[in-house]
Amino acid sequence: MASGFKITPEHIALMKDVLIEHVPHAKALGMNVVNAAPNEAWLAVPYDEKLVGNPETGVIHGGVITSLLDNACGIAVQLALPERMSIATLDLRIDYMKPATPKLDLVAHTHCYKVTTNIAFVRGTAYHIDENDPIATCVGTFMLAANRTMPMPMTPEAAAEALAMLAQKKDGGQ
Amino acid sequence: MSEDTKAPDIDALMQAIPYARFLGIRIDQRGNEITTVLQFSQKLIGNPVLPALHGGVIGAFLETTAIAQLAFEFSGGELPKPIGLTIDYLRSGRPVDTYGRAEITKQGRRVATVRAEAWQDDRTRPIAAAHGHFLLKAADEPADK
């Protein structure tokens, strides 16, 4: 199911603003969209001491790579769909090839290679500079139209509103 | 573990990991049982509309749960290194505290196989499950580092 979706620089800018700026966890990790194409996404997480998993070596925790790959996979799926819809990760398998190198940024390149009526299939690689020298690879499946709620907000206004709603719920002693 | 050896303090070990502190993971250690607790905070949200925890956070939490269990059962060694992890997302993670338990299904000399599960209010309704392989000794690292 190929999508006729054309990625423009404006679209990438919008994704940077909405999909990343308004996903609290992505923001907390300093995640950013580097590039995008139909069915494909490139995201990065800059090196940060607070993300270290082994205090002796300074190597980033595998969980950061999981978050980066999961988010990048989700965006690749969104970029493969003919229309906006809610998606949910069904499963994600990650293989760790080598430890990340301290002080270097992490990059993930993901590719949604098949979309069916209900499921999207995606794979990805996490690396520093050379994609052929991977830190980790992943393969995942996403459920399409996963729930009856709205999809991820697609305008900055909608995203801001969703965040305000969340803050309000929290204040209400939820 | 024999009675005369003191149980290792896994919470102290985990608090020494910057990323575990960043996520807000603490360890509830009762006798020989380890429960990991992911304290909810706003920065763990992946979908602000639902709202739901970020899938990566849940994966990282399950990985940490597995590592905590391995560190408990093989105290004294280095932190085990993940080789591969498969995460099944079963329900969306609501904006509340999440708990985790792991079980070592097979322990080899170099590699251990671990299953981990995460739940919120009801343990019989897990939000995610994972199974993975972990390298127990750094000397046997597959990458030629």
Q: Do B89 and A54 touch (CB under 8 A)?
A: no
pLDDT of residue A94: 97
pLDDT of residue A162: 58
What's the gap in Å between the CA of B45 and the closest CA on chain A?
5
pLDDT of residue A3: 45
pLDDT tens for each residue of chain A, 174 residues long: 444 456 667 766 776 666 667 789 999 999 988 888 889 999 999 999 999 998 889 999 999 999 999 999 999 998 888 777 888 899 999 999 999 999 999 999 999 999 999 999 999 999 999 999 999 999 999 999 866 555 555 555 655 665 565 566 555 433
Burial B61-88 (b: 16+ CB within 10 A, else e): bbbbbbbbbbbbbbeeeebbbbbbbbbb
Q: Do B19 and A149 touch (CB under 8 A)?
A: no
pLDDT of residue B38: 98
Q: Is residue B65 part of a domain?
A: yes
For residue A13, give the H/E element and its range.
Answer: helix A9-15
pLDDT of residue A2: 44
pLDDT of residue A134: 97
DSSP string, B94-126: -SS-EEEEEEEEEE-SSEEEEEEEEESS-TTS-
pLDDT of residue A147: 60
Q: How many domains does chain B have?
A: 1
Q: Which residues of chain B have pLDDT under 50?
A: 1-4, 139-141, 143-145
Q: Is residue B4 part of a domain?
A: no
Q: Is residue B1 part of a domain?
A: no
Contacts A66 to B, Cβ<8 Å: 56, 59-60, 63, 85, 87
Closest CA to A113 of A142, A146, A154: A142
CATH number at residue B96: 3.10.129.10
ipTM of the complex: 0.86
Domains and CATH numbers, chain A: 9-171 (3.10.129.10)
The pLDDT tens digits for B72-113 are: 988 656 788 899 999 999 999 999 999 999 999 999 888 999
pLDDT of residue B92: 92
Name residues 21-80 of chain B within 8 A of A (Cβ): 21-23, 42-51, 53-57, 59-61, 63-64, 79
| Domain hosting residue B105, numbered range | 10-140
Q: Is residue B44 part of a domain?
A: yes
Q: Is residue B133 part of a domain?
A: yes
* Beta carbons within 8 Å of A153's beta carbon, 6+ residues apart: A18, A22, A159, A161, A162, B48, B49
Q: Is residue B2 part of a domain?
A: no
